[in-house]
Amino acid sequence: MRGIPSLITDIRKKVFTEVARMAYSGEGYAAAEELPYIIVPGDQPLHRESVFLERAIASERVRLAMGLNLRPIQTRHLMTEGMDHAAIAEQYYEPPLINIIPYACHACPTNQYRVTENCQNCLAASCQKVCPRGAISFVNGKSYIDQDKCIKCGKCASACPYNAIIHMERPCQAACGMDAIGSDEHGRAMINQTKCVSCGQCLVSCPFGAIADKGQIYQLIQSILKGDQVIAIVAPAYVGQFGKYATPAKFVAAMKTLGFYRSVEVAVGADMCTIEEAKDFLEKVPAEQPFMATSCCPAWHSMVHKLFPAQSKNISMTLTPMVFTARLMKKKYPGCKVAFVGPCAAKKLEAIRADIRSDVDFVLTFEELQGMFEAKEIDFETIEPCEILNEGTAAGRGFAVSGGVAQAVTDLIHQTNPELEVKTARAEGLRECRKLMTLAKVGKYNGYLLEGMACPGGCVAGAGTLLPVDLAAKVVDKYQKEANQVSPLESPYRDAGHNLD
């Protein structure tokens, strides 16, 4: 579904656009009551059974986009309830970050084998013969699976010569590498928040758009309007996300139009992170710890703490590129506000940690930023270019794709210690990350540098991205080659990292 325009992506963009437009108007949040009618105009539903249901869902989307909690549906609550506390520049959203709007959920079947119309009622009846529980019989000339008897072994599907039996999984559940999604009493999806690490893969996998994350669009714009110096620190995956005309120079110009004081590459922080993680690895592996895991992906970091607590001490204590860059900006521009702009929903969770809140004031995904561009009617084809972002190195920009962090660290170690062999292993997607850590736990990766990325493909596959993953990776590769410097040791901030811890 990623990178494929759909009614879901249209609705999400419209929600972000209208919330941003309301914020830029400076007239307050009272107009939020009108937004569901703008998002779902007319008297006919677009895709559900009722226009009233569509507007109810749009209302919750608006609330989530403004960082508010979902309203209970059993009692009457105004749509603007709680906005007086939330709609201020200093307000952070509260967990849970990822939310399922119950009445938007389709209650998809979970883990079932079903017989399709392709069944030919064949004499071999292979599906019946191989079923270990006798769950398959002929009904009205077709094979029929008794779900109460079925043990989901899949032998019937493998045996069918017509591929007439399919395996159905709830898409959000299949995408969740933490097994955090179950069902409520009505069969609708629900998130076990104690397991969830806010990677957002369920969000981008739901074909009904029932899952959404909280945002800070309104609060960020309030900060801009009240005169704060808001600095956008931009993850390297941004390149190409806003269309072919959105060159880095035009992107900077567009950000100025939105009201940002300046824009900075998070690749700068990635370079500092590379230097510090290389130093950590050389000092600690194997002298102090059996292996070292990279620290950059917050969902991976959270997964290790939840499922492998005894191994969490082997994660590098180095700050993430976001935090390094944010602290650098706070030091250079005292009193400024910092907005991280990136592909990742989990960065929102990282930013509200007690030890990070003073560093990162706002987090925007690319999808939310696109809503701001739409609200200000920015046309990348005609906007005049500005200065380009050129302080990050090729290594730092490479953090955006799976394998990029480990590659940057090992390249730097080889640069300073050419005789040293560095063994690495990596995983992308939380299910694979769990396998990686399971092997590391029993000593299979002693002496290794391990990289984990929650999103398959790396940051370019984050829940807040707009491009197909393969295309985004190619664009980032080109962006890497355009960097003025290759190694983090060439960065003007090469020595800044240890002063920002």
431-482 per-position pLDDT tens digit: 999 999 999 999 999 999 999 999 999 999 999 999 999 999 999 999 999 9
Per DSSP, helices labelled H in 98-191 are 126-130, 155-159, 171-175
Tell me the per-residue pLDDT of 254-302, one tens digit each, with 9 for 90 and over: 999 999 999 999 999 999 999 999 999 999 999 999 999 998 999 999 9
This prediction has a pTM of 0.94
Tell me the per-residue pLDDT of 167-203, one tens digit each, with 9 for 90 and over: 999 999 999 999 999 999 999 999 999 999 999 999 9
Mean pLDDT, residues 96-118 taken together? 95
Q: How far apart (Å, rounded) are the C-alpha atoms in residues 44 and 31?
A: 22
Give percent of the chain with pLDDT exceeding 90.
Answer: 88
Polymer length of the chain: 501
Contact 260, 233 (CB under 8 A): no
Per DSSP, helices labelled H in 131-247 are 155-159, 171-175, 201-205, 217-225
Give percent of the chain with pLDDT exceeding 70.
Answer: 99
Whether the pLDDT of residue 204 is over 90: the answer is yes
Strands (E) across 194-353 are located at 211-213, 230-234, 262-265, 292-293, 337-342
CB atoms < 10 A from the CB of 98, how many?
26
Q: How far apart (Å, rounded) are the C-alpha atoms in residues 29 and 79?
A: 11
Nearest Cα neighbor of 112 from 72, 146, 75, 160 is 146
Contact 385, 247 (CB under 8 A): yes
Nearest Cα neighbor of 457 from 425, 427, 424, 431 is 427
CB hemisphere CA count around 24 (13 angstroms) = 16
Distances (CA, A) of 223 to 13, 220, 260, 308: 22, 5, 10, 39
Whether the pLDDT of residue 74 is over 90: the answer is no
